[in-house]
Amino acid sequence: MFRYIDLCVELKKGRYAKDGLIHYRNVCQQVNISSLEEVIKYFMKTATDKAEAAQSKAAEAVISLDVEDLEVDATPEDLMLSYVSGEKGKDRTDREQVTPWFKFLWETYRCVLDILRNNSRLEALYAMTATRAFQFCLTYKRSTEFRRLCDILRNHLANLNKYRDQRDRPDLTNPDSLQLYLETRFEQLRVACELSLWQEAFRSVEDIQGLAALGKKAPKPQLMAMYYAKLTRIFTVSESHLYNGYAWYKLYNLAKTYNKNLTGTDVQTLAGNVLLSALAIPPFGAADLARSEAAAEQEKERSMRMANLLGFSVDAKRDMRSALSRKALLADLRAKKIVDIVPEEVRHIYTLLESEFSPLELCAQLAPLLEKLSSLDTPLSAASPVQEASLTQYKHALQQVAVLRVLRQLSEVYSVMTISSLAALIPFMGFSEVEQLVVEAVKHGYLQVRIDHKNNTVHFGALELESERLRDNISNLARRLAHALHTIHPAPTPSKADLKAKALAHALETAQVENRRAQARKVMIEKRKEDAERQAAALEQQEEQDRIMQERISAAAEEERRKQERLKREEARIAKEIEEREQEEARKMLASVQTKIGSKRLNIADGAPLDKATLMNQVISEQQRARDEAEKKVHALSRRMDHLERARREEEAPLLEAAFQKKLEADEARFHKEQEEFRVAHRKSWEVDIEEKRRFLKTLPDKEVFESIIRTRRTTEFAALQVERERRLKEKRERRMMERQLSRRQEYVRRCRLIIEERRRKEEEEKEREEAERRAREEAERLAKLEEIERKKREKEAELEEKRRKEREALLAAPRPAPTEAAPAASASGGAFVPSAKRAGGYVPPSRRGSAPAADAAPAAAPAAAAAAPSERPAAADGADKWRPGGARAAEPPAAARGPVAPPRAAEERPAARPGAFVPRHLRDRAAPPPGRDTRDEPPPARREGSRW
């Protein structure tokens, strides 16, 4: 394979070399991958040596003086070539000798990268090839080839993420593989900055950020320091002052945290760069210019992207203008006390630009400080992450920030200023540049300034339209004319007494109205207070619910986090167990392999972690090497044995022929001898057999008699045994038949029992169902009867209630008796009890009103009713007849002298209430019980809502 590579390099056939390497990779991919690595290294070394040799040869050809006559300037051929092509001798030599070999070397790098892109076993070789290609581009300043190389690597990575199911592809989740890819991208970033390809450098930064997001661990601090150092250069060139300040801030924090070898001067210089880069940020940005929603969204996405590149974790819902801003960066620097570390001149610049308010002297004080920045540039030590950090690079940006600061302060003090005065305040910048800054600041909404070149003035303040200015001028003119008219013709001034009387009259007129307004306002205020309190209570309740919900969400999130942590710990434990198991298997495999092939053949360091795949590769390689050695030995031995065997056969051929002839003669003689001996022995055996036959013929009759006796006896015994066997078979058959019949009967009985039980169960279920239906029907009938009784009871109560209501209305509507009629009746009774029917003005039922006989029969009926039911109701105590008229009650005798008390009268017999007299509550609120109804056993009526008792 080495010879094939030499031929391809000599002939400059890169395509053939690529095809051969692809076929060789397919051959040794699974067997001996180290062989492919050696061939590729040899291929790159040979191509590099040829290119360097061609370059050295071209340089020697230019340096050497191959001229016959020194007085002749040039040959005619050289003059013609120079006039036709316009090239010099060195350019023409390079084009003829060096360029072809450089093209071949470039094709070599591309070919090797294409072969190794999907091989996980040669990741280190892939990274080394990419690094050597970067060095080739850097050494020979090949910018175009470097861009192509970056695109090739980017496409390889994209295909690697796209086609994840390929065999032997590199696994980016493996920390070692990811570290190799990251180191390659960091080298790409370094070379891009060295070649001043800033766009390619920024794309390399994005590649690094994408690869870093795939890993669980952050890259090494040394690599990150180099990363932020290159970012500062990129942002400085692109004049992105905000991101440049944040890049310096991250670089300073990283160097101070992880680099313990930094000197005090290094820390002070880095802090000065951080502070000056933050001060150089303009007070306005592109976000202030985004007027539309789409532009604002694009600016937000750009800010999020840059924040991710700078290593800040941001929220997508947060406003990025507050996350990355000049104000936030300076606040962080003050919190970290970086202002106290910087040199005195830098601290004074910070004080002028951020703390002091002196628009007339700010630029004059700042100019000498900016001039002193060049004296603060000190060389950095080898431990510093950057080799040079010049403070003078921020001079122009600081001057622009100072001008904007002066204009902002002047706008707060002055409204109009001449251009010459403004130019005198800014000595280090011309007015044309100041005007450009003013335009940018106004465009971004930072200042409101208008420059009037016609009058050579600068106007500070709000800009207004001409129509608005005209309207204001007219209103101002009207107000001033009114003031002038009032001054010329003042109105007569009334006296204090008139004013006081007028005010008093006005107060009297408006007092009631104002009082009502005050009352209404008070009611409205109270109502608003109640509404506010109700809203506050509802808001408090809602906040409490939100708090509870937030606590629940937080608890659920905490539980989920703990669950995730448990899962991670479990995964780590399982991974550790798998690794330990693989280590144990690798140790066992190593022990078994060492017993077979020996421990000296395996390239394994003592105490190094055992990798099963690596060990398997080494074992397979060693076994393959052992098989190759064994095949070589077998091949050599076979060749040696072939020569020996050929010589032996050539020597033994005549000897074998002579021995074969002797063996044929001996075999023929032995055959004839054995045939003669066989004939003699066979004759003797035949004669013996004939003699034996003759001797046995004498015993033939005895033999036949003995045979007939044996046959007869055995025939008899066989017949007896056959009869016995038939008998046993018959008995067994009968017994099995009886058992089968018995089992059939038992099975029939069992089935009958099951049928009877099933029938009984169904009858019981049917009875239970009928009983349940009967009970349900009876219950429904009972409930219907109860409902009917309840309905009739409600109807009866309603009728009684209606009757009572009508009686009460009739009682209340009856005319009141005259008070003068009770006195003659009382005097006529002579102090004795007088029934109500006999009293003047007593109650007369409606059926008896207007009939004299009914009135005369009433006295006789009363004693009879009293005598007929003397025990139905006990006598009323003194004072029980308190509802009678006062005169009648006073004229009656005591209860003991009156005799038995008459039973209570019905509602029809009760006297009507007098107009304006007291009416008992039971006669006003509810109807009296009907006549003949005993209400003692009935429950008392429900207490009326709002009753006193």
| Lowest-confidence region among 356-365, 633-642, 917-926 | 917-926
| Lowest-confidence region among 405-419, 636-650, 651-665, 830-844 | 830-844
In angstroms, rounded to a whole number, what is the distance separating the alpha carbons of residues 439 and 447? 9
As a whole number, the mean pLDDT across the chain is 77
- φ, ψ dihedrals at 417, nearest 5°: -150, 145
Q: Which residue has the higher pLDDT, 783 or 503?
A: 783
- φ, ψ dihedrals at 450, nearest 5°: -130, 125
pLDDT of 497: 79
Q: Quick one: tokens of 326? A: 């000049």
pLDDT of 844: 57
- Axis crossing angle, helix 362-371 with helix 344-354, rounded to the nearest 10: 160
* Residue whose pair of structure tokens reads 């450089």 in the numeric block: 102
Among candidate residues 50, 45, 51, 40, the one with its CA nearest the CA of residue 17: 40
At a CB cut-off of 8 Å and minimum separation 6, what does 339 contact? Answer: 275, 333, 347, 350
pLDDT exceeding 70 applies to what percent of the chain? Answer: 75
Q: Which residue has the higher pLDDT, 886 or 767?
A: 767
pLDDT of 912: 52
How far is the CA of 641 from the CAs of 174, 232, 655, 784, 911, in angstroms? 54, 77, 21, 123, 161
Do the bridges between strand 449-452 and strand 416-418 make them parallel or antiparallel, or are there none, so unpaired? unpaired
**Residue 437: how many other CB atoms lie within 10 Å:** 20
| Lowest-confidence region among 308-322, 642-656, 752-766 | 308-322
Cβ(29)–Cβ(80) below 8 Å? no
| Lowest-confidence region among 292-301, 567-576, 606-615, 894-903 | 894-903
- pTM greater than 0.85: no
In angstroms, rounded to a whole number, what is the distance separating the alpha carbons of residues 192 and 206? 13
pLDDT of 92: 53
Q: Band the pLDDT of 743: cuts 50, 70, 90.
A: very high
In angstroms, rounded to a whole number, what is the distance separating the alpha carbons of residues 101 and 916? 138
Q: Quick one: tokens of 384? A: 């510093």
User: Is the per-residue pLDDT at 419 higher than 60?
Assistant: yes
In angstroms, rounded to a whole number, what is the distance separating the alpha carbons of residues 190 and 131? 11
pLDDT of 443: 85
How far is the CA of 173 from the CAs of 24, 199, 639, in angstroms? 29, 29, 53
User: Is the per-residue pLDDT at 879 higher than 90?
Assistant: no
Question: Which parts of 598-611 fold into alpha helices (H)?
Answer: none
Q: Band the pLDDT of 467: cuts 50, 70, 90.
A: very low
* 904-926 mean pLDDT: 52
* Residue pLDDT, tens place only, 272-293: 888 999 898 888 865 555 455 6
Most confident of 53-67, 528-542, 657-671: 657-671
Q: How far, in whole angstroms, is CA 526 from its chain's centroid?
A: 49
Strand order in the sheet with 416-418: 416-418, 457-460, 449-452
Q: Which residue has the higher pLDDT, 922 or 15?
A: 15
pLDDT of 610: 59
Do the bridges between strand 457-460 and strand 416-418 make them parallel or antiparallel, or are there none, so unpaired? antiparallel
Q: How far, in whole angstroms, is CA 621 from its chain's centroid?
A: 47
In angstroms, rounded to a whole number, what is the distance separating the alpha carbons of residues 389 and 233? 10
* 582-608 mean pLDDT: 64
* 188-209 mean pLDDT: 88
User: Is the per-residue pLDDT at 616 higher than 90?
Assistant: no
Q: Band the pLDDT of 717: cuts 50, 70, 90.
A: very high
Q: Band the pLDDT of 760: cuts 50, 70, 90.
A: very high
pLDDT of 796: 92
| Three-state secondary structure call for residue 119 | coil
* Residue whose pair of structure tokens reads 């390497």 in the numeric block: 21
pLDDT of 104: 86
User: Is the per-residue pLDDT at 501 higher than 90?
Assistant: no
pLDDT of 170: 79
* 155-183 mean pLDDT: 80
Q: Which residue has the higher pLDDT, 19 or 602?
A: 19
* Residue whose pair of structure tokens reads 């191509």 in the numeric block: 47
What residue spans define the domains of the chain? 255-485, 521-655, 734-763
Measure the CA angle with vertex 493, ends 491 and 494; round to 5°. Answer: 130
| Lowest-confidence region among 38-42, 165-169, 181-185, 919-923 | 919-923
* Residue pLDDT, tens place only, 773-782: 999 999 999 9
pLDDT of 924: 57
Furthest-apart CA atoms within the chain: distance in Å: 200
Cβ(903)–Cβ(872) below 8 Å? yes
* 121-125 mean pLDDT: 85
**Residue 589: how many other CB atoms lie within 10 Å:** 16
* 830-837 mean pLDDT: 49
pLDDT of 602: 55
User: Is the per-residue pLDDT at 834 higher than 60?
Assistant: no
Q: Band the pLDDT of 847: cuts 50, 70, 90.
A: low
What's the per-residue H, E or C state across 691-740? Answer: HHHHHHHHHHHHHHHHHHHHHHHHHHHHHHHHHHHHHHHHHHHHHHHHHH
* 639-657 mean pLDDT: 86
Q: Which residue has the higher pLDDT, 76 or 345?
A: 345
- Looking from the CA of 180 toward its CB, the CA atoms found within 13 Å total 21
In angstroms, rounded to a whole number, what is the distance separating the alpha carbons of residues 279 and 268? 16
* Residue pLDDT, tens place only, 80-114: 545 444 444 445 555 566 788 888 888 888 888 88
pLDDT of 734: 94
Q: Band the pLDDT of 117: cuts 50, 70, 90.
A: confident
* 207-226 mean pLDDT: 82
**Residue 391: how many other CB atoms lie within 10 Å:** 26
* Residue pLDDT, tens place only, 505-552: 888 888 888 888 888 888 888 888 888 888 888 888 888 888 888 888
User: Is the per-residue pLDDT at 461 higher than 80?
Assistant: no
* 674-697 mean pLDDT: 89
pLDDT of 839: 52
User: Is the per-residue pLDDT at 64 higher than 70?
Assistant: no
User: Is the per-residue pLDDT at 739 higher than 90?
Assistant: yes
Q: Which residue has the higher pLDDT, 741 or 302?
A: 741
User: Is the per-residue pLDDT at 440 higher than 60?
Assistant: yes
In angstroms, rounded to a whole number, what is the distance separating the alpha carbons of residues 250 and 228? 7
Beta strands in 744-845 (DSSP E): none
In angstroms, rounded to a whole number, what is the distance separating the alpha carbons of residues 296 and 702? 138
